[in-house]
Structure 1
Amino acid sequence: MPGEEGDADIVALTATHHPSPFSRCGPGFGKSIKPDLVEYGGTAVWRGISSRLSADRDSCGVLTLNPNYLQSLMVYRHGTSFAAPVAAYKAAALLEEFPKASANFVRALMALSADHPADLKERVTSDGGREHFRYAGYGVADVSLAEASEDNRVVMAIEDSLPIDRFAVYEVPIPTDFQTVKGVRHIKVSLAFDPPVRNSRKEYLGVKMGYHLVRGKSAEEVFARFRKWETEEKEENGGAAVFENGSAICKMTPLASMQEAGSLQVGTFVRKRDISHHGDSYYLVVRCEGKWAANMVEEQTFSVAVELWHEAELELYQQIAVVLSA
């Protein structure tokens, strides 16, 4: 805290990028990740002399417009209500970039661009390193990342719909450089859908969706395995088709069991070593399962986005553009 006369009793409750002391956190309904996204809303301090919490200091707040503009144009304020309008502003910025996009498309891109500040991940390390999802959802969205790809970071997205209890398969091209060049690489997936919901019964979502990123299998093998799930195994294995070689399903962070309770799902698959033995194509399988709304809707609209990122300065965008245009 800035040094001021009489401030020796002031103790900051949080560090930069840590959750505000007045934040609400998850897990949400059905142990879903809650909130989806977060934004900065200020902090609070402990005043030792008065033995009370206080946020009535400029250094605790976020600079914003003052409703009493005749007194001053700007003012510092704090509160949980800051998050929604900032997230809405970012969504509006994306909608301006993609004016014909659906709400699901915008949500998927926002979630794909989100990340947790490094300070938060270093501070919140319990529960196998996944506890930061409970405190900060999928993180803070970065509109600049959502709007466009870069040489070493490529975003692919699509809007689609699925009949109830069916699945779709999307091929994800994996360039040779992405597979072999040394360094950290990740494949990040974001799925957004808008199912019927009820707040008065145990099952909140009327339709459940989920995804699997499959590697080391041909398209024919993927279709054959999920057709078997479609006809025989919906209630087994938590709704997921399982290959005999379990390593064919990429293990995402957070796990599917954490993601699939919500209508916005984001997972990341990270590797540091050569992955060329898994082939030039992965397959993203999106499945749709009817719950209590199975007889109410014929199909479910959704949007899915995939990001390939490598820490090395590679020309991934050009390589993938060539494959997709072939």
Structure 2
Amino acid sequence: MNMPESYQHLRIEREPLRNDRRTKKIKLPRLERANMRAHGQHLLSGLDRAVQQAKQQVSTATEGYVLKLKYSGNLDFTHLIKHGVEFISQEDRQLCVVFGDEKGLATFAEHLQRLGLDDAELTYKQILEALDGIDNWTSEDRKSWAISQKGLPAEGAFSLDLELWPVKVSHHPERRVLYENFEQWMKDSGIKQLDRINRDSLLMYRVEVTPTQAEMLLNHRDIRLVDLPPESGISPVLLMRDINELPKQISSPAKSAARVCILDSGINTNHPLLKPAIAESKSFIPDQDEFDDVGHGTAVAGIALYGDIEACNAGNYWQPNLWIYNGKVLFKNPNGDDAIFREETFEKTVVEAVEYFVELGCRIFNMSIGNATAPYDGKHIRGIAYILDMLAREHDVLFIVSAGNFMGCGDPPVPLNSWRDEYPDYLIDDASVIIDPAPALNTLTVGSIARHAATLDGQRYPEEISQLAPATEAQPSPFTRHGPSVRGALKPELVALGGNLASPMRAEGDEWRPHTRGLGVLTCHHQPYERSIFAEVNGTSFAAPYITHLAGRLLNEYPEASANMLRAMLVNHADLSAESSSTFSAEAIKSYAKANNHRELAREVVGYGQVDEDVLYRSSEEAVVLMAEDGIENDSHIFYELPLPKEFLRSKRALRELRVTLAYTPSVRTTRLDYRATRMSFNLIKGTSLEDVERHFNKETQDQEKRLNDSVKTKANRAISSEVRSKGTVQSSIWSMRQLSPRYKWFVVVTRQDNDWGKEMSAEIEPYALVVTLTDRENEQAQLYTQIRERIQEQERIRARIK
């Protein structure tokens, strides 16, 4: 059987015009108060009470107080300074935090006193009118989710993570005074400082304390958050195979092959399947070598290198195509078999490791790490996620992270009785939300789907009912965690094989005990010469490196591709499987959509879905991938005319598919709910000409031009709405159409709009990647690639004549 011919993907260019984005002046509604005078007095009383409470707390600042402002509607953060207080952070949709010194608070009090007086002329009075109340930041506000749920150790010394209010930027004199005074106070109080990380919107410490000192920290008014250190753990099940059955010689990758870094518990680089592809190793754990005595890092590396090891093993075919770089950032728990973070701040370790391997040419980083004590609370992105978002932008590297594993919880119990009977309800339970660093926007987050459903006992004794798995092949794994991330961004974006679990069925009341033997994925064992070549593992930790493997192979094909392009390509080829979409009942899907602004329930768990590798690397005559990398100014549009041949646009009924994916890497800030300094989006538009489309988007003629005949936006043929996809920094949708018209041209329009607060943080020209896939599979004589290539050449000739 002859294999179909394949071709390098094609590149397209923007049209030679730039259009300013249509802007609208939005007049925010004023909040009407029945008695403005009484409202001002109520706020004044709250201010006085909050300041008095704050004075009872510990502080190391020379002067000043941190206050909570509760508000209704919209609040103008930029001009809070006009009333004597300075914006620090927006904590949720109706709560912001401000800082005020004695002079500023006097101004604030004076303005509140004048509120409601007929002759009072207050600038930005609407800010005061929007306030509902003023309060102090309390010890309860400072408790993280982990401390609220688990409490603090009752005795002995233990570690805590602290976030201080990020006053000013990292090198500002006021920031320096803040942390120097705080560190002196800790020293005087006998609190042991283990480490510090100082970033523009993150001032974080790891400290060692007693219970009494922990209470002091919870009542320190310069502290924003007190948290337990991160946790991470695995327990892989081992499988056996004779090492002599492997090929005698396994060749190394090409010298130019992609360089992939595994940041994990180290790698045992003498494993016969890994050794030919190991480039360099380094430990970032003091007094420890780079080798893996846990097994997690070696297992991750095996999947990152070979992808589907079960398939490789079936054919005993092993051909490494990537170079593996080993960065040890976890080590074995002295009191257990799991991998843990070092005592110093883990975020600082990650920065050090990434910068080291970037210098060695690594473009892709796998981090199968999850902090179970930091579930995403729907507000700010913090911790490791924030650091990865910054590093991804700074170094143009792709981070691939796991969504985290949910192994049940006890208060309240989830699942209550049975993993099997209560599937899939707990997949979307509040207890199974993604954990740090999975919420990061500038990364790819990967959840897990199942492959196997028969446990080892079920395979050995098929006549008996032993354990039963809730998920079948291609359904979400019972332990995978769900999104969304900040402001509703789809997370995870992708899913891959990560294993399954089962409920024991023979013992009454034991169905909540997860059983995993025989349900995992195959990978490399960290002790191949002592125990086994292979290990069986379960978890999203092992779904993530499969995507890392695909990303590395993509980089081999397109070595100049940016991290944005790699993200866009992978998501562009993802599909929501029938198994995933049917996991939830029709009633549950309808109920969730009604309560969540028409969002799709399944996508909160699996995102864009599973990557289809059919045309991921190469195009064919019936499926063609178009690529573009460019940059865009603020408040502007960029237009791409898709080079669709007449044969594709034929009016004869036949299924044709058009996929569009956009990826960019904005600056981020943890003190803002919007988080992204820059927002980009795309629209798929059809029109009779470029001028037709350009007029539609031109702000000068927006009132004169009627709306284009934009049937591509209808729900009937579009997979994901612009409202949902635009929340993330990688955005994709699919249009399926059976009848087209040759009289229309098709365009993708990329738009950029910066937040007001983000303009100084953003580049004048922000880079992005765009990927479009055209498919015409029902045309047996399709020559789509040839025809599109000719159209692109024709467009290039036209542009050359214009120049």
Q: Report matched runs for 1:166-205 at 5 Å.
A: 166-180=636-650, 181-205=652-676
Contact 1:191 1:264 in 2 (8 A): yes
Contact 2:687 2:709 in 1 (8 A): no
3-state SS of 1:224 partner: helix
**Does residue 21 in structure 1 map to residue 478 in structure 2?**
yes
Q: Report matched runs for 1:215-254 at 5 Å.
A: 215-228=686-699, 244-245=707-708, 247=710, 250-251=713-714, 252-254=718-720
Structure 1 vs Structure 2: percent identity of aligned residues?
28
Q: Pick closer, same or farther for the CA change 1:131–1:174 going to 2, 3 Å.
A: farther
Contact 1:110 1:141 in 2 (8 A): yes
Q: Pick closer, same or farther for the CA change 1:310–1:132 going to 2, 3 Å.
A: farther
Of 542, 546, 571, the match for 1:82: 542
Q: Report matched runs for 1:87-106 at 5 Å.
A: 87-106=547-566
Contact 1:259 1:265 in 2 (8 A): yes
Give the drift of 1:3.
4.1
Give the drift of 1:177.
2.1
Query: What's 1:164 paired with?
Result: 634
Query: What's 2:725 paired with?
Result: 259
Q: State how far apart, in whole Å, the 1-side matches of 2:766 and 2:557 are.
A: 25
Q: State how far apart, in whole Å, the 2-side matches of 1:206 and 1:166 are.
A: 16
Runs of 4+ in 1 over 3 A off after TM superposition: 2-7, 122-125, 127-130, 248-252
Give the drift of 1:200.
3.5
Contact 1:55 1:78 in 2 (8 A): no
Q: State how far apart, in whole Å, the 2-side matches of 1:49 and 1:178 are.
A: 58
Q: State how far apart, in whole Å, the 1-side matches of 2:545 and 2:460 are.
A: 33
Q: State how far apart, in whole Å, the 2-side matches of 1:225 and 1:56 are.
A: 56
Of 583, 587, 607, the match for 1:123: 583
Q: Which amino acid in the other structure matches residue 612 of structure 2?
A: D
Q: State how far apart, in whole Å, the 1-side matches of 2:639 and 2:581 are.
A: 33
Query: What's 1:288 paired with?
Result: 752
Of 725, 731, 735, the match for 1:269: 735
Give the drift of 1:131.
2.8
Over residues 43-84 of structure 1, what are the superposed CA-to-partner deviations in whole Å (9 max), with x where a residue is unaligned?
1101023413323312x1101111121211012110121122
3-state SS of 1:204 partner: coil
Of 292, 305, 321, the match for 2:771: 305
304-313 vs 172-181, which deviates more? 172-181
Query: What's 1:237 paired with?
Result: none
Give the drift of 1:267.
0.6
Aligned residues: 314
Query: What's 1:12 paired with?
Result: 469
Q: State how far apart, in whole Å, the 2-side matches of 1:55 and 1:189 are.
A: 41
Give the drift of 1:4.
3.2
Contact 1:25 1:35 in 2 (8 A): yes
3-state SS of 1:269 partner: strand
Query: What's 2:211 paired with?
Result: none
Query: What's 2:521 paired with?
Result: 62
Give the drift of 1:295.
2.5
Give the drift of 1:120.
1.8
Query: What's 1:141 paired with?
Result: 611
Of 604, 620, 626, the match for 1:150: 620
Q: Pick closer, same or farther for the CA change 1:177–1:246 going to 2, 3 Å.
A: closer
Give the drift of 1:243.
5.2
Q: State how far apart, in whole Å, the 1-side matches of 2:760 and 2:725 are.
A: 24
Over residues 189-230 of structure 1, what are the superposed CA-to-partner deviations in whole Å (9 max), with x where a residue is unaligned?
01000101123321111100101111134211211221218x
Q: Pick closer, same or farther for the CA change 1:117–1:47 going to 2, 3 Å.
A: same
3-state SS of 2:611 partner: coil
Higher RCO (C-alpha under 8 Å, 6+ residues apart): 1
Q: State how far apart, in whole Å, the 2-side matches of 1:243 and 1:301 are.
A: 31
**Does residue 209 in structure 1 map to residue 680 in structure 2?**
yes
Q: State how far apart, in whole Å, the 2-side matches of 1:270 and 1:56 are.
A: 39
Give the drift of 1:115.
1.4
Q: State how far apart, in whole Å, the 2-side matches of 1:220 and 1:8 are.
A: 68
Q: Which amino acid in the other structure matches residue 486 of structure 2?
A: F
Over residues 6-65 of structure 1, what are the superposed CA-to-partner deviations in whole Å (9 max), with x where a residue is unaligned?
95142211111000111111222111111111111101101023413323312x110111
Contact 2:599 2:724 in 1 (8 A): no
Q: Which amino acid in the other structure matches residue 616 of structure 2?
A: A
Q: State how far apart, in whole Å, the 2-side matches of 1:218 and 1:185 are.
A: 22
Q: Which amino acid in the other structure matches residue 669 of structure 2?
A: R
Contact 2:658 2:735 in 1 (8 A): yes
RMSD: 2.3
Instruction: State the TM-score, normalized to the length of structure 2.
Output: 0.37
Unaligned runs of 5+ in 1: 234-241
Give the drift of 1:156.
0.5
Q: State how far apart, in whole Å, the 2-side matches of 1:75 and 1:34 are.
A: 28
Give the drift of 1:175.
1.9
Q: State how far apart, in whole Å, the 1-side matches of 2:787 and 2:709 are.
A: 30
Contact 1:216 1:248 in 2 (8 A): no
Contact 1:104 1:193 in 2 (8 A): yes
Q: Pick closer, same or farther for the CA change 1:209–1:9 going to 2, 3 Å.
A: same
Give the drift of 1:87.
1.5
Contact 1:215 1:250 in 2 (8 A): no
3-state SS of 1:90 partner: helix
Q: State how far apart, in whole Å, the 2-side matches of 1:293 and 1:77 are.
A: 43
Instruction: State the TM-score, normalized to the length of structure 1.
Output: 0.89
Contact 2:638 2:751 in 1 (8 A): yes
**Does residue 324 in structure 1 map to residue 792 in structure 2?**
yes
Contact 1:166 1:289 in 2 (8 A): yes
Contact 2:686 2:708 in 1 (8 A): no
Q: Report matched runs for 1:30-49 at 5 Å.
A: 30-49=487-506
Q: State how far apart, in whole Å, the 2-side matches of 1:16 and 1:143 are.
A: 18
3-state SS of 2:616 partner: helix
Contact 2:642 2:748 in 1 (8 A): yes
Contact 2:663 2:730 in 1 (8 A): yes
Give the drift of 1:248.
5.3
Q: Pick closer, same or farther for the CA change 1:192–1:117 going to 2, 3 Å.
A: same
Unaligned runs of 5+ in 2: 1-453, 795-803
Give the drift of 1:288.
0.6
Contact 2:489 2:728 in 1 (8 A): yes
Q: Which amino acid in the other structure matches residue 655 of structure 2?
A: V
